[in-house]
Structures are given as structure tokens and as C-alpha cells.
Amino acid sequence: MIGFVIISHSKNLADEVIKLCNEMKNYDFPIVNGSGKDKNILGSDPEVIKKAIELAYLEDGVLILGDIGSSISNAKKAVKLLDNFYNKDKIEIADAPLVEGAIVAMAINSGKATIEDIVLELKELKSFNKVD
Amino acid sequence: MIGFVIISHSKNLADEVIKLCNEMKNYDFPIVNGSGKDKNILGSDPEVIKKAIELAYLEDGVLILGDIGSSISNAKKAVKLLDNFYNKDKIEIADAPLVEGAIVAMAINSGKATIEDIVLELKELKSFNKVD
């Protein structure tokens, strides 16, 4: 089982993604909001994301999902800030859409799938056609 | 300028997507929440989406963005329910991630881009790599 960090440019949006995922998930694992910057609800910050990764950390790994460029670049900085207690090989930033990626990743996070399996599944999601 | 309909499996999540887009957009155009089913905040309904399309309708078109399969299939049903006042050739369901697609589409909705331009831009978004 892995933990999740959700980062949106809007902290409230990330909260709603987490609520939806908590409604849909079948197992118990942490999903932590890594959004926000100082007291602002818009934007993101490497130190805030670092703390979220620490809270979401499980031995099997942590998957980080972000929406726009700054969420992702701040997530990369956050991973670098972690101390050696955390196995960085098991901490991945998803190349996946925030909402759709979170829903798919939660659905397969049953304890059987490794973080590598989940990352692979999310890569396949990119070529999925929603409409046709 | 086109209008937008946002459909998430979670009505509150769609509200937060709309708030973020309203913060980020530079022009004035409607962004309407098409989520919800009866009094439930989870799920979607073709009649609710139909009303949202009518509210978001502009002559240049309406772009509908949804997150999961049922949002999209109910959007298709909703378009079929519209009467002939509405030009269905200008109403498109985006093959794009909900949050990222909305942000990109809003950013180029300046009045110069047609709905066809926006749909094309969203197609290109699919091959964008967030992480590398």
C-alpha cells in the first residue's frame, strides 16, 4: 500500500480531490494535501510539500500528483529536501492528470500493486480517449 | 469567446475548478457547474448537464469538460437532449483532463481562438509530459 500527496494550485481544489478519493477508496491509506503557500490557498511551496510527503509516507512508497507546472517543480524540490530516513526510490511524481490520475491510482492501491505498477498504469492512462 | 461546462463526479470539486478558473481567466465568459444528480453531490445527470449547457451557451460554442466515464457519457446524452436553438456543431466534449484541460482552455479563450482551435490545443496537451 502506498500513500498519496495531492498538490493543486488551489488548496481547496486539492481538498475536494481528497474527499472524492476518500469516498471511492476501498482500503485505508493516507492522502495528504500538499498545496498552499504561507497563508495563501493559491500556489505551492517545497517545504509544505515536504511535510505532506512525510505524513503520507509508507514503506511501499508515496505517489505525488500535481496539476500545473509549479506544483510539479515544487514537488521535485520537496523530494530533494527529504532526509535519508525516506527511501527516495519509492517516491514518485506522477505524469498523470490530477483528478483522473488520483482516481485510477487509488482504485489499484490495494496492497498488491507496487508503486512501479501504479506509475505504469498511469502512463497508460495518457493514451486513453475519454470521448470516442 | 466560448462558454464552459465543468462536470465532476463531485459537485464540490467542480465548484473549486470553476473558482480556480475564475481566478485565472483574463476575459469574461460563463463557466457553469454541470455536476450533481437530484440532491446528491456525487454523480451526474443528463438533464442537469443540459441546463448547464444552456446557461453556458455562447454563439461561438460551449466546451464541456468532465472527469470520469459517467460524466462524459451523461454529457453526450445531454447534448442530444438540446433543442434546435442550440448549434450542436459548436458544442464539444473535451478529450482532456478536467483540471489541466480547463486551465489551458480558459487561458486561450480570448475571443480569437475558435472552439476548433481550443479542441486541437487540448489534443496536444495529451502528449505533454508533466514530469520530465
Query: Of B70, B99, B129, which to mutate for an interface test with A (greatest number of A Cβ within 10 Å)?
Result: B99
Report the C-alpha gap between B114 and B130 in whole angstroms: 26
Closest Cα in chain A to B126:
A126
Report the C-alpha gap between B81 and B75 in whole angstroms: 10
The predicted-structure confidence for A99-117, as pLDDT tens digits, reads as follows 999 999 999 999 999 999 9
Chain B contact for A80, CB < 8 A? no
Single-letter amino acid code for the residue at A119: V
Q: Say if the Cβ atoms of B12 and A10 lie within 8 Å.
A: no
pLDDT at B48 over 90: yes
Q: Please state whether the predicted TM-score (pTM) of the whole model is above 0.90.
A: yes
- Secondary structure of B27-88 in HEC code, one letter for each residue: CCCCEEECCCECCECECCCHHHHHHHHHHHCCCCCEEEEECCHHHHHHHHHHHHHCCCCCCH
Query: Are the beta carbons of B91 and B82 closer than 8 angstroms?
Result: yes
pLDDT of residue A10: 97
Mean pLDDT, chain B, rounded, equals: 96
The predicted-structure confidence for A56-112, as pLDDT tens digits, reads as follows 999 999 999 999 989 999 999 999 999 999 999 999 999 999 999 999 999 999 999
pLDDT at A38 over 90: no
| Cβ-proximal residues to B42 (8 Å cutoff; 6+ apart), any chain | A20, A23, B9, B10, B11
Q: How far is A59 from chain B (nearest CA, A)?
A: 23
Query: How is residue A42 written as a grid cell?
Result: 493559491
Nearest to B13 among A16, A69, A131 (CB): A16
Using DSSP's 3-state secondary structure scheme, residue B91 falls into strand
CB contacts < 8 A, A to B, total 88
Region B21-33 average pLDDT: 95
Q: Which residues of B92-110 are buried (b: 16+ CB within 10 A; e: fewer)?
A: bbbbbbbbbbbbbbbeebe
